Structure 1
Amino acid sequence: MSGRTEGGTLYVRFLLTPMYEAALPQLMALLGEFTPQVEALPPDAALVDLRGARRYFGRSPVDLAALIRVRALALYGVECAIGAGPGPMLARMAARDAAPGVTRAVPEGPDGVRDFLADRPVAELPGIGRATARTLCEYGLDSLGKVGAAPLSTLQRLVGVRAGRELREKARGIDRGTVVPNAAARSVAVERPFPRDELDPFRHRRALLSGAEELGARMRGEDQVCRTLTLTVRYADRSTTTRTRTLPEPTAHSTALTTTAYRMYEALGLQRARVRALSLRAEGLAPAEHAAHQLTFDPADEKARRIEEVADRARAKFGPGAIVPGTLAA
């Protein structure tokens, strides 16, 4: 644990594995025992506003975070990493440094917030894309301390009037975000960890293919389809990148899921990235019977769907490993 925080927001990331993925709704309910102000952040995180809970329980956010972590581990076997800060933005940033079983808190007071942000790269600021970060770095504004000290007119000239004002506020620790209570979306997820930090894009794609095949088979087995697909990449330094894409139509078709997963992965442009694990989460689940399927005249797609049906019947009879794509059998 590092420092104390005078705010009341936690960013809780549950370190879920496929074995414990089904416990996510219960974990969200656990957070709801402390406060109704819980915002689910698929695939595996939540923001928790504890301002009212502090007064009710008479404990600091860091103390409440420790209690949440202990209960999640004891009741569901799930470890979590937690960041604590005055608001959602700073809590998210603190969580980047939080190892499993650790609460990382933004130090108390304006000076503590300023010191916490000063040396951090601009790319760590939530909402800053790669293009904006690259532009700022080209002008020597490579840390949040430098961005916060830069004239407002300079930032507005570089990134725009409104964006420049927001960027300056965030770099100075002004956190105007709020926790918006919602319900955890119904979802199903798979994770593919690597035995060691993996650099090979071929192995990354192979893991995505395996995950998409499993997701599709599980949803078809339960007569469900999903509306969106989320890809989470975990790196060697415990940081993550998450991308979500809405599918053209609700589906449980493994080929469609694989194609979408590949496109999200390729869009990240990972060059020599040391990847520790890849996970896919199908969200917005609904009964397959309520989903409309767009008719197609593509014989290859129809053939793939027929093969999929046959493979599902074989797996149901002989086990999940009875039929796998050729790439995975190699």
Structure 2
Amino acid sequence: MILCIRLAGSGAAEAPPSPSALPALLGLAEDISPVVQALPPDAALLDVRGARRYFGQDATGIAAVLRVRALAHLGAGCAIGVAGTPMLARMAARAAVPGTTCAVADDERAVREFLAPRAVGALPGIGAATARTLRSYGLDTVGRTAAVPLSTLQRIAGVRAGRELYEKARGIDRTKVVPDAAARSVAAERGFPRDELDHDLHRRALLSITEELGTLMRGTDQVCRSLTLTARYADRSATSRTRALREPTAHSAALAAAVYRIHESLGLQRARVRAFAVRAEGLTPAGRAARQLTFDPVDERARRIEEVADRARARFGPRAIVPGTLSRSAA
């Protein structure tokens, strides 16, 4: 069985988890099972099949142990999903409220009953555009989508996407828990006090995220090769989109520009956004990455200012220097 544990505190009305929260969570999880995968910024997957005999409990009992340890060691509540596959465990964790466990039995009937009433957009990898298309055909829930033949879904969504949709709607998940996945990515998230329509506030949240990611990567002398933006909506659905960068970078301005382009491509003019998360992927040592030379004095000056700001943050704290836009928004 697979556990997905999510720390409380990343919801729309709550503060985002601190950068140290995920490593601490992973440390607790690794005391339970060596097969642990990070899900930045605030969650982890555990394969506990080998741990059940050691603890003398089933997966739900192990989840209770982990929840108590998280509260004792981290001072944080958590929501836990238990299921037979990573996809179902993640969905169950989303369905669980903080301080509880949502368990999906590993049998076909239980999986069908869990999935059937959920909005089709709740399936991982189903974006807002695909969900709208499916709803236009009356396929607004996972149960209704699962009742449609594969050939019909492929005509609606395309051959590859239709196949993935067909399998996910039936609870079929071929992924595995991948240990040590945290070393290849870093992520941050910002929630809003209320479901937010304001485009300017969206951009401020994204700027705050990319500033945090840039500082984290530069602090460990790393750069990333791609960015994934996830928008979570008022109806608890989500959209994720990934873009490769023109060159590996940890430069905050370049990260912000790339995330703004992804944000624009989502077309969120009328969407009520609950939170944004950005994941920097394909991390590699900065010394191994090539950088395109530029004769732009503005860019070079920005990079020098960034170096000075990093030294100030390292000495006086992360809020010692912030972009003017963020300072005004906090005032």
> Secondary structure of the equivalent of 1:294?
coil
> Secondary structure of the equivalent of 1:168?
helix
Alignment gaps of 5+ in structure 2: none
Scaled by the length of structure 1, the TM-score of the pair is 0.79
Could you say if the C-alpha distance between residues 236 and 161 of structure 1 is closer, same or farther in structure 2, counting changes exceeding 3 Å?
Answer: closer
In 1, distance between residues paired with 2:240 and 2:208?
19
For 1:13, the equivalent position in structure 2 comes to 6
Alignment gaps of 5+ in structure 1: 1-7
> Secondary structure of the equivalent of 1:21?
coil
Count the aligned residue pairs: 323
Conserved? CA contact 2:251–2:303, under 8 Å: yes
Moved more, 291-300 or 128-137: 128-137
- Give the drift of 1:258: 1.3
Alignment partner of 1:328 out of 319, 326, 329: 326
Moved more, 222-231 or 100-109: 222-231
Conserved? CA contact 1:156–1:163, under 8 Å: yes
> Secondary structure of the equivalent of 2:208?
helix
For 1:115, the equivalent position in structure 2 comes to 113
Conserved? CA contact 1:226–1:283, under 8 Å: yes
Could you say if the C-alpha distance between residues 20 and 209 of structure 1 is closer, same or farther in structure 2, counting changes exceeding 3 Å?
Answer: closer
Conserved? CA contact 1:11–1:82, under 8 Å: yes
For 2:80, the equivalent position in structure 1 comes to 82
In 2, distance between residues paired with 1:170 and 1:132?
14
> Secondary structure of the equivalent of 1:46?
strand
Scaled by the length of structure 2, the TM-score of the pair is 0.79
For 2:97, the equivalent position in structure 1 comes to 99
For 1:3, the equivalent position in structure 2 comes to none
Could you say if the C-alpha distance between residues 232 and 14 of structure 1 is closer, same or farther in structure 2, counting changes exceeding 3 Å?
Answer: farther
> What is the root-mean-square deviation of aligned Cα atoms in Å?
3.4
> Secondary structure of the equivalent of 1:154?
helix
Conserved? CA contact 2:41–2:189, under 8 Å: no
In 2, distance between residues paired with 1:40 and 1:148?
30
Could you say if the C-alpha distance between residues 149 and 72 of structure 1 is closer, same or farther in structure 2, counting changes exceeding 3 Å?
Answer: same
- Give the drift of 1:296: 1.4
**Is residue 146 from structure 1 mapped to residue 139 from structure 2 by the alignment?**
no
Alignment partner of 2:200 out of 199, 202, 210: 202
Residues 128-153 of structure 1, C-alpha deviations (whole Å, 9 max, x = no match): 34444333333323222222223344
For 2:246, the equivalent position in structure 1 comes to 248
**Is residue 125 from structure 1 mapped to residue 123 from structure 2 by the alignment?**
yes
Could you say if the C-alpha distance between residues 324 and 47 of structure 1 is closer, same or farther in structure 2, counting changes exceeding 3 Å?
Answer: closer
Alignment partner of 2:41 out of 31, 40, 43: 43
Residues 56-111 of structure 1, C-alpha deviations (whole Å, 9 max, x = no match): 32312122112112212221234332211122222222222122222112256433
Could you say if the C-alpha distance between residues 278 and 160 of structure 1 is closer, same or farther in structure 2, counting changes exceeding 3 Å?
Answer: closer
Could you say if the C-alpha distance between residues 235 and 142 of structure 1 is closer, same or farther in structure 2, counting changes exceeding 3 Å?
Answer: closer
- Give the drift of 1:202: 0.6
Conserved? CA contact 2:127–2:239, under 8 Å: no
In 2, distance between residues paired with 1:317 and 1:159?
52
For 2:23, the equivalent position in structure 1 comes to 25
In 2, distance between residues paired with 1:20 and 1:329?
19
Q: Which amino acid aligns with 1:171?
A: A
